[in-house]
Amino acid sequence: MTGRRSGHRDRARRVAEASERSWVIGFGVRLLIGWALAIVALSLLPAIDRSAVTATVWSVSAVLRAITFHPEITGTTIRLGSAALQIIPECTPVMPVLLLAIAMLAYPAPGRWKLAGTAAGITALWIYNVLRMLALLATLAVRPAWFKFTHVYLWQSVTLLVVCALFLAWLRYAPPARARAS
């Protein structure tokens, strides 16, 4: 009798492991397909990047004005004293938002949870990005020699960590009974 139970448990374990691998592979495939579609959409719809740049310039300058600074805006450049920061598409939260939203949509969770997470993620990443731009502007004003390092290495890395942390937080608070449904 013990041999049958052991064999049954081994078979059940193998089936569970195969199911888990299949689920992980499916998530990865959905994530990659979503990312590819997003890149194609951004290349075909340049108005998205233009709108994001305009909104980023507006948001950063609005925060600066709210804290009693007087930025000079020329097109997509924000000037504060001798520091000038030109906002380009890579300075917007579009790519981090897309990565987070695609991961949330690719994950098998309830639709409402996906929408709530995406909305919260967009908001969090927008705020984070405005703070990032303010920090870069301050770096330009105080320590211009540090700008390249902070912009290219520090903030790029922190942005990836923030996206991962938001996704993990979203997973952590996902409804437990339906975490892998839908």
Q: Where exactly are the structural domains of the chain?
A: 1-44, 46-178
Model-level pTM? 0.84
Token pair recorded at residue 14? 């193998």
Radius of gyration (C-alpha) of the chain in whole angstroms: 22
Q: What is the mean pLDDT of the chain?
A: 90
Please say whether the beta carbons of 178 and 110 come within 8 A: yes
10-residue mean pLDDT series, the chain (182 residues): 64 64 86 96 96 98 96 96 95 97 94 96 98 96 95 95 98 71 44
